[in-house]
Amino acid sequence: MTHVTNNREPLLTDHVDLLQESIENTRKKYPFIIIAWVILPDHFHMIINPLEGNLSSLMRIIKLSFSKKIRNLMDAKGGRIWQNRYWDHIIRNEEDLNLHIDYIHYNPVKHDVVGDPFSYFYSSIHEYYMQGFYSRDWGVKKIKFPGEYGE
């Protein structure tokens, strides 16, 4: 799934701790498995497997939690934090899963945040590398992904 901030405001990486706290607090109440993730300044991608509840409810809770935290931090009474909708995709098979994991891990390079996906901190790519799923030179050369990914 992909979630984008309102008007693509670049506030997620500056407040990544609040987003991660919102995700973890939600996961404690409504268990889900995070398969892959990346947080960029104005959007984030996650592949999750909900163990309870449904995807839409989980995302609503995460976004509301983060919105409340960021408003408190900024001493704001209101204002939109997120775009109204999010993009989701049902994983069809292992090939589809692997393609989406790669897309997520390549996303900081795609958006010209870094030239090497391993130099980007807010990503699960490091966990995958430690498990041997990627070589250290993966993603340094331009990769084109077929299909839609919710950007």
| CATH value at residue 46 | 3.30.70.1290
In a domain, 51, yes or no: yes
Cα–chain center distance at 135: 22
Q: Number of H helices and number of E strands within the chain?
A: 4, 3
Structural domain span for residue 49? 2-74
The catalytic position among 122, 129, 134, 149 is 122
Whether residue 119 is predicted with pLDDT greater than 80 in this model: the reply is: yes
Q: Per mean pLDDT, which range of 26-35, 68-77, 122-131 is the poorest?
A: 68-77
Residue 25 main-chain phi, psi, to 5 deg:
-65, -40
Q: Per mean pLDDT, which range of 58-62, 74-78, 114-118, 125-129 is the poorest?
A: 74-78
Query: Angle, to 10 degrees, between the axis of helix 16-29 and the axis of helix 55-74?
Result: 140
Structure confidence at residue 79 (pLDDT):
86
- 148 or 8, which is more confident: 8
122 given a catalytic annotation:
yes
Our count of domains for the chain comes to: 1
In a domain, 27, yes or no: yes
The answer to whether the CB of 125 falls within 8 A of the CB of 117 is yes
In a domain, 102, yes or no: no
Predicted TM-score (pTM) of this structure: 0.93
In a domain, 56, yes or no: yes
In a domain, 42, yes or no: yes
Per the prediction, the chain carries an average pLDDT of 93
- What is the average pLDDT across 89-116? 95
* Integer Rg of the chain from CA: 15
